Amino acid sequence: MNTRTLKQSERIHPKKFALWLGLGTIIMMFAGLTSAFIVRRAAGNWLAFELPPLFYISTLVIALSSLTLIFAERSFKQQNRTVYKNLLGLTLFLGIVFVILQYAAWMQLAGYGILLRGNPSGSFVYVISGLHAAHVLGGILFLTIFYLKALPKLDPVKELLEDINTEKNLPIEMLSAYWHFVGILWVYLLVFFYYFR
């Protein structure tokens, strides 16, 4: 479907464009939450607390996973299947570690006496980082699907067919865009929490 002229197909692919718009909606959602945070903080009766140290470690982990995904994408485009598969697996692993670390960070936070209920300053950190973790889980789901697809195939014809597919780079490019986005989003949230704590 959607037959278009050669000239038009050189523009950004509609699906990739839709993904970028989708990322825009996620930005709006977190912009809404962080502005609610600022408005609420300005109203007073605000409990200040230190962020759990594990948040910083998890930031390193998700940054590292973005790095491994960059190299995975590069090896995919160089048709280096084994390296691609391994790097993708590493990214997936780091993504899972990130979510576990976020959970551990919540436990640390709870250890300080900052619970989900109570003063909204703590509730906001839980809800915002939780919603972010939900978006990371969405990325993990797709990483898993890509990893399963990257496992060695028995049918050489299928592999050959994939090689000549003109759009074969599109899915991995969209996945990286999303994954880097959730990484950068977390860095923003961390800086935000640090600055406005």
Partner 1 sequence: MAIIESGTEIKIDVHDHHEHEHHHEESFISKYVFSQDHKMISRQFLITGILWAIIGVLFSVLFRLQLAWPDESFPILEMLLGKWAEGGKLAPNFYYALVTMHGTIMVFFVLTAGLSGTFSNLLIPLQIGARDMASPFLNMLSYWFFFLAGMIMLVSLFISTGPADGGWTAYPPLSALPKASTGSEFGMTLWLLSMAMFVVSSLLGGLNYITTILNMRTEGMTMMRMPLTMWAFFFTAVLGVLSFPVLLSGAILLLFDRHLGTSFYLSDIYIGGQPLTNAAGELLQGGSPILFQHLFWFLGHPEVYIVILPAMGMVSHVLATNSRKPVFGYSAMVMSILAITVLAFLVWAHHMFISGLNPFIGSIFVLFTLLIAVPSAIKVFNWIGTIWRGNINFTPDTLFSIGFVSLFISGGLTGIYLGNSALDIPLHDTYFVVAHFHIVMGLAAGFGLFVGVYHWFPKLFNGRMMNNTLGYIHFWITFIGSYCIFWPMHYLGMTGVPRRYFQFSNFETFDVYSSLNVFITLAALLVFFAQFLFLINFVHSALYGKKMTTLNPYDSNSLEWTTPIEPGHGNWPGAIPSVYRGPYEYGKGGLDYVPQHVPDSQLWKKEPQNEKV
What do you get for the CA distance between the two ends of the chain, in Å?
51
Q: Which is nearer to partner 1, 32 or 53 (CB)?
A: 32
Q: Which is nearer to partner 1, 8 or 82 (CB)?
A: 8
CB of 50 to partner 1, least distance (A): 19
CB of 56 to partner 1, least distance (A): 25
Q: At what angle do helices 81-111 and 120-150 cross, to 10 degrees?
A: 160
Positions touching partner 1 (CB under 8 A) are: 1-6, 8-9, 11-15, 17-18, 21-22, 24-26, 28-33, 36, 39-40, 43, 45-47, 116-121, 123-124, 127, 131, 166-167
Q: Which is nearer to partner 1, 26 or 96 (CB)?
A: 26
Distances in whole angstroms, Cα of residue 22 to Cα of each of 28, 53, 183, 186? 10, 31, 16, 17
CA pair distance 194, 196, nearest whole angstrom: 6
In three-state form (DSSP H/G/I as H, E/B as E, the rest C), the secondary structure along 68-96 is: HHHHHHHHHHCCCHHHHHHHHHHHHHHHH
Q: Which is nearer to partner 1, 80 or 120 (CB)?
A: 120
CB of 177 to partner 1, least distance (A): 14
CB of 13 to partner 1, least distance (A): 7
Distances in whole angstroms, Cα of residue 171 to Cα of each of 10, 15, 115, 126, 196? 17, 10, 40, 32, 37
CB of 137 to partner 1, least distance (A): 16
At 52, list the tokens: 């759990």
Q: Which is nearer to partner 1, 15 or 149 (CB)?
A: 15
